[in-house]
Amino acid sequence: MPKNHRNHMKYKKNHTIKSIFFDLDHTLVDCATADKRTYEILATIARKQLDTINTPNLIHDFRQLLIKQPFDPDGRIDVHTWRIDLWTQALSKQNIDHEDLARQLNHAFHFERLAFYVLDHSVQTLLNDLLKTYTGIIITNGDTTIQRPKLAACNAHHYFGQNIIVGGEEPHEKPHASIFEKACDMADCSPQEAIMVGDRLHTDIQGGINAGLAATVWVNPNNDPLDHDGPEPHFQVISVLELPAILSGLHK
């Protein structure tokens, strides 16, 4: 097995792997590139409105707010209204009160970004190969009004058909075991016949462990250290493209 494949935990060998559960953002889709190109557009929009605005600070402040709380935790405010408020807060850090600009930035953030939200050719090839043998399921957390357009933009249905689960449409999101149980029902497999592949330790990896899956694969392109108090994946890879080697090892 290549050196960058880290085997952290013993996986379950007593069952043949039949299904692969994939996260979407930062796993199948290179969101970092999509975000970078989108924020360049947003900076141009902001400077056209206010040529004195500090766009790097604006984008930094928005991203921090987005990471902290991307949705209304109580579920009462729709996602676009919520994120317009995040842009308003980011602007206010520069003493800018400009609701129309906040609305423009939010619209561009969500809709301009879709043009860059694509599956790399190498990922398309990977899916074409893997899905000849395995049943693939996408399990993605997030609000349906955000995730469904992303899924359409990257043509996920071409590869996965109806085997797509959006956490915001379910009673519980990852890492709750129920969403993985639904995926197992869709794939007609037991948890011991499925693996979870994703970039988030506390949702993808912890969820796979909670559900008793055969193995979890952490996609960690920046080679970040494991959280000592967090879940431990069975495998760690730089890219989802390394998955065939992991699967080959699982079947030995």
Task: Count how many domains the chain has.
Answer: 2
- Whether pLDDT at 3 is above 70: no
Q: Do 151 and 52 fall into the same domain?
A: no
Q: Do 23 and 79 fall into the same domain?
A: no
pLDDT of residue 10: 60
Residue 62 lies in a domain: yes
Q: Do 84 and 124 fall into the same domain?
A: no
pLDDT of residue 8: 58
Whether 6 and 198 have beta carbons less than 8 Å apart is answered as no
Residue 105 lies in a domain: yes
* Cα distance between residue 45 and residue 100, in whole Å: 12
Residue 1 lies in a domain: no
Place of tokens 């990852």: 174
* Cα distance between residue 165 and residue 211, in whole Å: 16
Mean pLDDT, all residues of the chain: 93
Q: Do 152 and 232 fall into the same domain?
A: yes
Q: Do 199 and 92 fall into the same domain?
A: no
CB atoms within 10 A of CB 193: 19
Q: Do 38 and 96 fall into the same domain?
A: yes
Given 91, 115, 139, which residue is the final one in a domain? Answer: 115
Q: Do 235 and 147 fall into the same domain?
A: yes
Can you name the residues that pair with 198 across neighbouring β-strands? 218
pLDDT, one tens digit per residue, over 59-110 is: 999 999 999 999 998 889 999 999 999 999 999 999 999 999 999 999 999 9
Residue 102: half-sphere exposure toward Cβ, Cα within 13 Å: 19
Domain boundaries, position 44: 32-115
Q: At what angle do helices 31-49 and 55-68 cross, to 10 degrees?
A: 130
Q: Do 214 and 146 fall into the same domain?
A: yes
Dihedral, CA of residue 101, residue 104, residue 106 and residue 107, to nearest 10: 170
Given 100, 115, 130, which residue is the final one in a domain? Answer: 115
pLDDT, one tens digit per residue, over 176-225 is: 999 999 999 999 999 999 999 999 999 999 999 999 999 999 999 999 99
